[in-house]
Amino acid sequence: MFVDSSGRRARLLRRLGLLVGAVCVGYAAVLGLAFMGVGISVNPSSLLPFGAGGDGPGGPGPGSGAGPQGGVAPTGPPPSAGPSTSPSAVPSAASTD
């Protein structure tokens, strides 16, 4: 039973194993890189309009000038717990245990 003397099945499986192993390594590598943020540049300072030049959008002026100080009114006190529902709490249905 089960014996394959030609060795073809073993070869096939060895290749499959290699492939699976490579995929596993690749997966771990991608996650490692993505988690640590290796090799990416999403630092927007290089992209931003007011990068180097000190003359941004009119210094501190315009914003607060036209500003709706009153708009801050409705809820005075500190942020409170805000929407305490962190996204993680949402769909943990069919997960771990």
Tokens coding 9: 């099945």
CA dist., res. 22 & res. 28, Å (int): 10
Neighbouring C-alpha atoms within 13 Å toward the C-beta of 45:
3
To another protein, the closest distance from the beta carbon of 48 in angstroms equals 4
Site string for another protein, 43-72 (x = CB under 8 A): xxxxxxxxx-xxxxxxxx-xxx-xxxxxxx
Residue 35 engages another protein in binding (rule: CB under 8 A): yes
Contact 12, 6 (CB under 8 A): no
To another protein, the closest distance from the beta carbon of 79 in angstroms equals 4
To another protein, the closest distance from the beta carbon of 39 in angstroms equals 5
